[in-house]
Amino acid sequence: MRSANMISSSSFSASPKCCHYMPLLTCLKVLSAFLAISYAVLSIGASYLALNQAVYAIASLVFLVHSIFTIMYFSGLKDQNEWIMIPALVVEILLRIVMGFVLLAMWFAYVLFLFDIIDFASPIDSIKPVNFLLVACLLSTIIYAMLIRILFPYYDGYRHIKKLNDRERMYGSSVMQASCSSRPTAV
């Protein structure tokens, strides 16, 4: 009777399709290295375009600084140092906020163009301005959603490293971690 109530350990064995994933830190190292290289390439491309128009010089500088902060995040992951990762997270969050406002301004310009309040000329002659603005807004929204989605694992990696370091500091400290409260006394 007792054996009927007991559950066999073979029923809890892992399926070959289950639990096959890359660890979070490995994925984040690969992702941050890829993003750092991508930002550096974008910085080089924007600096090449800056030879003709000065607006691209600002974009080149932003991409270069963002590449440096992404390298800091990568080194924080590699060395398991959460203090190096904090500036990169702050820059990522601020960049997402600024990009959100730019995206909102693009949709606002699209709505204003629909009501003929502003005038806009399409940079591509074969596409109507309203279609160009709609496609640009939709693509920007999709890219923004993907960039927001990338931000969550970045923060999870920071929390994981911080938790590991906090646990290591707690166990490594020489201070006693016990409560020394006594029973209440009657006066």
Q: Give every CB contact of residue 54 below 8 A, 6+ residues apart in sequence.
A: none
- Calpha distance 4→8 (Å, rounded): 10
Full-model pTM: 0.72
For residue 151, give Cα distances in angstroms to 11, 47, 91, 125, 154. Answer: 38, 26, 11, 37, 5
For the segment 38-61, the average pLDDT, to the nearest whole number, is 92
Give the whole-angstrom CA distance, residue 43 versus residue 59.
Answer: 7
pLDDT at residue 12 in the model: 43
Q: Are 73 and 154 in contact (CB under 8 A)?
A: yes
Round to whole Å and give the CA distance between 113 and 184: 74
Query: Of 33-37, 65-69, 93-97, 119-123, which gets the smallest average pLDDT?
Result: 119-123
Question: What is residue 1's predicted lDDT score, i.e. its pLDDT?
Answer: 47
Q: What is the pLDDT of residue 2?
A: 46
pLDDT in tens, 64-118: 999 999 999 999 999 999 999 999 999 999 999 999 999 999 999 999 999 989 8
What is the structure's pLDDT at 5? 46
CB 107 within 8 A of CB 158: no
pLDDT at 18 > cutoff 60: no
How big is the chain, counted in residues? Answer: 187
**DSSP designation for 125:** T
Q: How far apart are CA 167 and CA 173, in angstroms?
A: 10
Q: What is the mean pLDDT of residues 146-158?
A: 91
**Which DSSP symbol is given to 15?**
P
Calpha distance 78→157 (Å, rounded): 11
pLDDT averaged over the chain?
Answer: 85
